[in-house]
Amino acid sequence: MNFSIRLKQLRQKNKMTQSDLAKVLGLKPTAISNYESERNEPSFDKLIALSKCFDVTIDYLLGVSDTYLPVGGEVLDRDIVEFYDLYQQLTPESEAELKRFAEYLLFKQGSQSINDKDN
């Protein structure tokens, strides 16, 4: 995934318009549009500001790494990152449904563990 796609996803995930993000970075909205359409690239200073704004690594922004953030000093597993990327695309209603389904799977898994012990 390239920078322009990641930037747009992060901006939308944070419910920001291009104008909102431009204000944070001290730019005009057209600059953000140009970043997202690959007509222009941010300076190093703006990359740093973007990584701080979205609390992600610069490597993640640039597509060098699929690691969103280190967790407790350890890098996230690729499957977790892929799952998180999918999760970010869900509507709030779908997020709630996914959580309920995960809770059901954990319940089912726990029930199976108890049945396995009984046998």
29 belongs to a structural domain:
yes
Q: At what angle do helices 3-13 and 29-36 cross, to 10 degrees?
A: 130
Number of domains in the chain: 1
DSSP 53: H
84 belongs to a structural domain:
no
Residue 1's pLDDT is what?
67
Average pLDDT, stretch 48-60? 89
Question: Two tokens at 84?
Answer: 């998180």
Length of the chain: 119
Q: What is the CATH number of the domain that holds 56?
A: 1.10.260.40
86 belongs to a structural domain:
no
Range of the domain at 25: 3-65
33 belongs to a structural domain:
yes
Evaluate if residue 53 carries a pLDDT over 80.
yes
d(CA 35, CA 46) in angstroms, rounded, equals 11
Residue 105's pLDDT is what?
94
